[in-house]
Structure 1
């Protein structure tokens, strides 16, 4: 039996079978985003790791007619989904510069052959499914491809089932031809006309007379611009019984043009579904429920005795959504995952800090230093109380603020401890709530070999993932790796609910954070530039975390002082686009927005999975506002220019304690090389 960690290792759709029944967890607000109910084309968008491929594959025949689906309703044949992802390298070769004006017919032929193969796969999947109509199955099994089509495919007689093998041979020939295109390819097909003809033959008979087909094309951004125009034309003019839809990375620049003079228009021709904004993260609580169900279902698949109340047959079935929406079910599922991945409250962390001699001494030294600078002789113990740990930690940074008067804070703290409610104690309570995370991180920033406990726990894993399911699964995977590596009895893990201790979660979080930073260099043609930008931003946010007043705590996002994208260097604009495309930086709109390209009304957040590595917050609380010049230096200038900017921030933010930048060469767990 494989170990639990291996169940979580597969965090990409490509690592899973096309049949996702009992593996794909339907979001609880799924019904209004059912692709099989759409009557026009759809563009599905989402960042890297948000589950675009999984979402498309769920709607395709491999899942809808899964052999694991015990009861398949007749309505499953109303709309039959076909999933197709192109060979990126192959489609890039199909261009006019390489093969001349014949590129269009070659592209159409390639798509037609690929989709014909998928229709053959559908027939095979349908026959193996639990669909109850045996007569229909027999008719599908014996369906003969019409002669007019089979002759175009250089064949005399083919069944739908035999079509895949024959087409595979033609695709092989096409691929070989493309590497030496000295003469015309032997077969020329118009993709839409070919598929439309086959669909009409299937639906005009008694076989599938009430069915329509919806083609889902993945990784649309990887097609060449002229190829996208062809697909856009199919989308714009799609109608029952054949529709085309696409999926691509959010922020990807894709063509809206067609092969004619028209463009494809939202609302009129297609609908846009944003997987994160519309489905997975409509609100934070919904994403946590989805995340909890994904974790619970994987553990159930590992050992059903560990999670008995999860039924894999329900999670992929839209008829069971109401049951999963019940408060009792949500409570049970959240209790389960928070048991597996426990976390310390901020009160817990603060209390541990006071009980830790090194951290406690740091807090006392800060209080003493602040009082010295304000020439106050008040005893430091007035601000230090083991029974009020959060307040004590926050007191150590409040005293550094210019507006804080030591005696006034001492009086307020005493009244607060006595339970007196007045304007000052209410304001003080709010200050503690707003500043506690920043204060904790500030104290921990002085000890690079320690990992702050705020990065452990299911809720915080969700926050660090920021709706990126791949990051969530990677955090779980590494956590279970740590659990297994530190367990003396692996058999016990198989037979009891796994509980990952907080220190093991922290190691996993730090590892995932470092791993993500390393991976950035591999993302697209600008990977190394994006890695440098992420590291520069991370260092600046870490530096801001060293401000002892923490008057604007928790920085992981920024904005830029400019009114238009046109004022930015084109190279900077391109790098910003690439950072958004690869989900290294996440873009948000502010409340007010004057113009479409107004950066002053946009905010940008560094992906929070990097927070543990840089010892910064993973929450979007306070932002840094960069000037155009500062922004350009971070994104474009050489290391010497960046280091000068970095030094200027040290002076600007008055980081006047002895400060050694430990983010330049941080090792995996904070050690310096």
Structure 2
């Protein structure tokens, strides 16, 4: 009988695809010690409007929905609280809406002026938010008397510029009235291109109703008296610049007890401008800001713990009987220099290993004064291919510096012997091994035609770099491959290195395709990142890497070309590159320049390291060659220069101004 295939517990990666119960069930609290930001992760505590920004999949929607009344209510039920007691204890009421529901592209063109559309959007936006607030209040004050409902409704009606002719006696009636007004407006908007007519009846002034409702109910209802009313507006990037200006104006002129939390992708804020005499809203004056994925990357230990809890909860909520210690589910490869795992992938005879074959060719061709058999004997360590690779790399460093190689190989061999014995003379060798082990292991795997090792939960978390959806996508793909291979993932089976590698590569390809901007600029971003990654790859798999585990760079943003700066901004906004807080202090000039890391999600595409160690400093000319597609000739020259300086027989060239000195360079 064919075994029943389990549902993938990581199959749903988007918060918009989860219902309210699933959002609550899968919620994981982030443990944060920083009192400045912890409240905003737990619940909206500040009356200051807040932008929640982040890359696609960074958790903005999940966070904002978790703080909505619909989810608050579920928690009250679970805790056995009444709505009144729950809201009083929380101190806030979350009114969550998504801008995609506005279909904002309708408010333009159609033979109407921009001024008309601006006014019409203002009216429509007010109706939209007011309906949402009224629907929630109908439920929240359901236990109040009809008289209270009638009084609140009557006061809200006084906020309108034109009194309705309809007989409105309750919040429910008023909500239905606003819905009918919106429906009429929808009809006119949808037909005005054909009819050429827009004849709206604008019955209110922007801000009066959405700020007036919280004021009125907080005065009438005792348990709402000290409650913060939070208009949580998600997917703000779907609004045009003119529409964002309207919202900016509204939150600038907000009235207590109301505030705003605005969710948007990193690139989604088009303007901070307002209609208030052309003033711009200023950070920490009119609003605060949480850069979600950037903050999660800073909180590395907390993010790792959060991610593990997220995975465990997914497994337990969807019926896994064996969540346990996550590491136990994944096969691993020990790349340490003593590890016997190497002998399963590398030829047991040192003479037949690719690194010695290559060394033999280079020495024979360029140094006929040396005895290759002596070098082979000195460098061979059959039980530890990693040490053999390190011996060759240190030898190559001396070659590049023009040292006497007949002395060099003997010194390296002596240092290896001292290191193995734990003697002081092996300290330099030990330090080099500590720094370059990752790159040397990568070279050994490539020489053996084996995939790079990105397996294990810690590597998956590191790859995701503060973007939980990226982590879930990795695990979704790994789970699918493991299931296909009948490995019974998370049910007592062991997920093979092969399934992990295939899943990681699928997730990396997804990230490369999914995170880019649509249209020509998306291709430009991908091309620039690929050119950058090619340089990092040349360094990693070279005879003498100039930097350790290179996946980061620094550059002076003020000196690069406008086009290169534009593409850099696009790549950062789309999370292909991550800006490193604090920048890079250059060793020669003492200047502080911007520092970036290639997203670890992209590392498997080019067999690059996940962790940031070495940093290369690009001159403006070098950076322009990489990030400006029109400079392909310069880029090809740059590639050739890199290959020459990191591979034997080495191009002897003076260091450019501002270039970083390698760890073991003189």
Q: TM-score scaled by structure 2?
A: 0.81
SS at match of 1:482: helix
Given that residues 390 and 436 in structure 1 are in contact (C-alpha distance below 8 angstroms), is that contact kept between their aligned partners in structure 2? yes
Matches of 2:6 and 2:338 in 1, distance apart?
A: 29
Given that residues 232 and 257 in structure 1 are in contact (C-alpha distance below 8 angstroms), is that contact kept between their aligned partners in structure 2? yes
Given that residues 152 and 220 in structure 2 are in contact (C-alpha distance below 8 angstroms), is that contact kept between their aligned partners in structure 1? no
Given that residues 633 and 642 in structure 1 are in contact (C-alpha distance below 8 angstroms), is that contact kept between their aligned partners in structure 2? yes
Matches of 1:124 and 1:298 in 2, distance apart?
A: 34
Q: What is the correspondence of 1:216-235 to structure 2 with a 5 Å cutoff?
A: 216-235=232-251
Write out per-residue CA displacement over residues 432-461 of structure 1, whole angstroms, 9 at most, x where no aligned residue: 0100111122233446x53112x1111111
Given that residues 60 and 81 in structure 1 are in contact (C-alpha distance below 8 angstroms), is that contact kept between their aligned partners in structure 2? yes
2:262 alignment partner in structure 1: 246
SS at match of 1:66: helix
2:660 alignment partner in structure 1: none
The correspondence for 2:207, drawn from 163, 181, 192, is 192
Label 1:62 to 1:517 Cα distance change in 2 as closer, same or farther (>3 A). same
Matches of 1:56 and 1:338 in 2, distance apart?
A: 31
Matches of 1:507 and 1:525 in 2, distance apart?
A: 29
Matches of 1:197 and 1:4 in 2, distance apart?
A: 52
Matches of 1:124 and 1:473 in 2, distance apart?
A: 37
Given that residues 391 and 413 in structure 2 are in contact (C-alpha distance below 8 angstroms), is that contact kept between their aligned partners in structure 1? no
1:38 alignment partner in structure 2: 46
Write out per-residue CA displacement over residues 328-358 of structure 1, whole angstroms, 9 at most, x where no aligned residue: xxxxxxx722223353333189643344345
Indicate the structure (1 or 2) with the bigger Cα radius of gyration.
2
Matches of 2:189 and 2:591 in 1, distance apart?
A: 45
| CA deviation after TM superposition for structure 1 residue 630, in Å | 3.1
Matches of 1:102 and 1:297 in 2, distance apart?
A: 50
- 1:118 and 2:110 equivalent? no
| CA deviation after TM superposition for structure 1 residue 18, in Å | 4.2
Write out per-residue CA displacement over residues 435-493 of structure 1, whole angstroms, 9 at most, x where no aligned residue: 0111122233446x53112x1111111121111111111000001001111117xxx65
SS at match of 1:247: strand
SS at match of 1:7: coil
Matches of 2:166 and 2:152 in 1, distance apart?
A: 12
- 1:480 and 2:479 equivalent? yes
2:281 alignment partner in structure 1: 264
2:381 alignment partner in structure 1: 385
| CA deviation after TM superposition for structure 1 residue 520, in Å | 4.7
- 1:58 and 2:66 equivalent? yes
- 1:205 and 2:220 equivalent? yes
SS at match of 2:580: strand
| CA deviation after TM superposition for structure 1 residue 614, in Å | 0.8
Would you say how many aligned residue pairs link Structure 1 and Structure 2?
610
| CA deviation after TM superposition for structure 1 residue 84, in Å | 1.8
1:471 alignment partner in structure 2: 470
Given that residues 58 and 292 in structure 2 are in contact (C-alpha distance below 8 angstroms), is that contact kept between their aligned partners in structure 1? yes
Label 1:475 to 1:292 Cα distance change in 2 as closer, same or farther (>3 A). same
- 1:276 and 2:275 equivalent? no
Q: Which stretch shifts more, 428-437 or 229-238?
A: 229-238
Label 1:25 to 1:349 Cα distance change in 2 as closer, same or farther (>3 A). farther
The correspondence for 1:175, drawn from 186, 190, 212, is 186
| CA deviation after TM superposition for structure 1 residue 588, in Å | 2.1
SS at match of 1:286: helix
- 1:573 and 2:590 equivalent? no
- 1:624 and 2:624 equivalent? no
Given that residues 583 and 594 in structure 2 are in contact (C-alpha distance below 8 angstroms), is that contact kept between their aligned partners in structure 1? no
- 1:641 and 2:633 equivalent? yes
Write out per-residue CA displacement over residues 231-282 of structure 1, whole angstroms, 9 at most, x where no aligned residue: 223323334211123222335554233322343233333222222344x234
SS at match of 2:610: coil
Matches of 1:89 and 1:526 in 2, distance apart?
A: 26
- 1:94 and 2:102 equivalent? no
- 1:70 and 2:69 equivalent? no
Given that residues 584 and 594 in structure 2 are in contact (C-alpha distance below 8 angstroms), is that contact kept between their aligned partners in structure 1? no
Q: Which stretch shifts more, 473-482 or 551-560?
A: 551-560
| CA deviation after TM superposition for structure 1 residue 632, in Å | 2.5
Write out per-residue CA displacement over residues 389-421 of structure 1, whole angstroms, 9 at most, x where no aligned residue: 54334223222221681111111111222222x
| CA deviation after TM superposition for structure 1 residue 196, in Å | 1.8
Label 1:88 to 1:407 Cα distance change in 2 as closer, same or farther (>3 A). farther
Label 1:652 to 1:528 Cα distance change in 2 as closer, same or farther (>3 A). same
Matches of 2:358 and 2:202 in 1, distance apart?
A: 79
| Structure 2 unmatched runs, 5+ | 651-666
2:658 alignment partner in structure 1: none
Label 1:152 to 1:354 Cα distance change in 2 as closer, same or farther (>3 A). farther
Label 1:71 to 1:381 Cα distance change in 2 as closer, same or farther (>3 A). farther
Write out per-residue CA displacement over residues 331-386 of structure 1, whole angstroms, 9 at most, x where no aligned residue: xxxx7222233533331896433443459612333554576566245352443335
Matches of 2:249 and 2:43 in 1, distance apart?
A: 20
Given that residues 249 and 275 in structure 2 are in contact (C-alpha distance below 8 angstroms), is that contact kept between their aligned partners in structure 1? yes
Q: TM-score scaled by structure 1?
A: 0.81
SS at match of 2:185: helix
Given that residues 375 and 409 in structure 2 are in contact (C-alpha distance below 8 angstroms), is that contact kept between their aligned partners in structure 1? no
The correspondence for 2:503, drawn from 500, 508, 527, is 508
SS at match of 1:27: coil
Given that residues 214 and 242 in structure 1 are in contact (C-alpha distance below 8 angstroms), is that contact kept between their aligned partners in structure 2? yes
Write out per-residue CA displacement over residues 499-546 of structure 1, whole angstroms, 9 at most, x where no aligned residue: 422221011111211232233555466212112222222222222223
Label 1:516 to 1:270 Cα distance change in 2 as closer, same or farther (>3 A). closer
1:653 alignment partner in structure 2: 645
SS at match of 2:226: coil
Label 1:589 to 1:243 Cα distance change in 2 as closer, same or farther (>3 A). closer
| CA deviation after TM superposition for structure 1 residue 63, in Å | 1.5
Matches of 1:544 and 1:442 in 2, distance apart?
A: 11
Q: Which stretch shifts more, 365-374 or 531-540?
A: 365-374
SS at match of 1:346: coil
Q: Which stretch shifts more, 500-509 or 645-654?
A: 645-654
Label 1:25 to 1:104 Cα distance change in 2 as closer, same or farther (>3 A). same
- 1:419 and 2:422 equivalent? yes
Given that residues 541 and 556 in structure 1 are in contact (C-alpha distance below 8 angstroms), is that contact kept between their aligned partners in structure 2? yes
